[in-house]
A = this chain, B = another copy of it.
Amino acid sequence: MKYVKHLRCTLCQKTFNPNHVSYTCPNCGIEGILEVEFDYSALKNVINTKALINSHDFSMWRYSPLLCIESTQNLSSMLKIGWTPLYRANRLNKSIGINELYIKDESANPSGSTKDRASGIAVIKALEQNASIIACSSTGNAASSLACHASRMGLKTVIFIPKRAPIGKVTQMSLYGATLVSVDGDYKSAYQLSKKAIEQHGWYNRNAAINPYLVEGKKTVALELAEQLNFSLTDWIVVSVGDGCTIAGLYKGFYDLFHLGLIKKIPHLLGVQSEGCAPFYQAYINDEPLQEALEDTIADSIAVGIPRNPIKAMNAVKNSHGSWIAISDILILNAMHTLGSSEGLFAEPAGAASLAGLQEALAKGIIKPDESATIIMTGNGLKDPKNAEKTMPPLKTIKDDLNSLNEYLNQKGVI
């Protein structure tokens, strides 16, 4: 934590010594999410273009001085997180009508989503504190990601899931050796029980919003984007939003880069929500406080009715002069097919929502055709085959002869 000045409460603005506080603000409680503040003048000596060019570490740990970790000794034993590919669109920019388009492929992370960046930090921090168990409540990518990296480093994980958790989602966690606690109740019950158990047993807590260091892991997406584009970022960065941690992390990354003198301005952030669960979008449009929303969308990774990182997420859009948008499930399914069939990229619904959001923002004039954008593809489509199936046209079986085949291909416009 050499370069950390202090932790600042996003509510009361008081600052705290990181050695005295573990998770949220002692004054404001669970709502008092803390923000890490760095000593940028000291950081400039270790994070600069020369140091980055000479780095041979092609993972998120190339930015370790910016990651609030005590030591680098465990990093080489970790699975490779980060430095995911950034693709320039070959055709998609033209078909959707934007000058320049990039896609950050987070599906290439070990457990298939951008959550690996936060879980990597959680595992390293748990090892620093000699904790042997990490816990979280989640039915999705955060939990499977945690189970993945904890397994690799020999730590146990206890994952709290509601009774109704879909079996497909919990399979991955179980395979990584997590102890699954299926709680007789809904998601809130699972969360509350995890909170009590974490307090009782002193386990390390990987509930993303309340742990100030996890967002620091997520910001490495922004750091990589900047470096991969030679510090000349696109006008817009587009990402889907659930809890708010990923967009908060992106903003934090750009904020760091700006204060390190590596970029001249922070790009606009477009936060994309599903119409079926859009608390941030509603609050923005109606200019009112965040209200609990229904969770009615196929994009389960962003189906968060009560976002746990609201202030950082709202600030990310506001301070970057960005915007919020909401799109329907139909548009998300279309975007999944478009990404796959025009660029060869297979995203889960929340991963393709960024493309759907960009298309909608272009249609509404929020983003202009002569601007440039990067969409964050947050998760692998293989995680959700059921929704991918919905994008398939009906499969017609043809007779086993060339005439039938050619007639069929003719109809399809292939020959």
Contacts and interface: CB of A to CB of B under 8 A. Distances in A.
A156 B406 CA distance: 15
A162 to B, nearest CB: 10
A180 B395 contact: yes
Q: What is the interface residue range for chain A against chain B? A: 35 or more
A179 B398 contact: no
Interface string A364-395: 00000000000000001111010011011101
A112 B154 CA distance: 25
Contacts of A112: 380, 382
Interface in A150-197: 150-154, 156, 158, 163, 167-168, 170-172, 174-177, 179-185, 189, 192-193, 196-197
A77 interface: yes
A65 interface: no
Given A163-B397, A344-B148, A414 B175 contact: no
**Copies of this chain per assembly:** 2
A20 interface: no
A201 B410 CA distance: 13
3 closest A-B pairs by beta carbon, nearest first, are A177-B341, A152-B344, A382-B382
Interface of A: 58, 77, 79-80, 85, 87, 90-91, 105, 108, 110-112, 133, 147-154, 156, 158, 163, 167-168, 170-172, 174-177, 179-185, 189, 192-193, 196-197, 200-201, 336-337, 340-346, 380-383, 385, 388-389, 391-393, 395-402, 405-406, 408-409, 412, 414-415
8 contacts: A90-B153, A105-B110, A110-B344, A110-B345, A176-B344, A177-B340, A181-B408, A197-B406
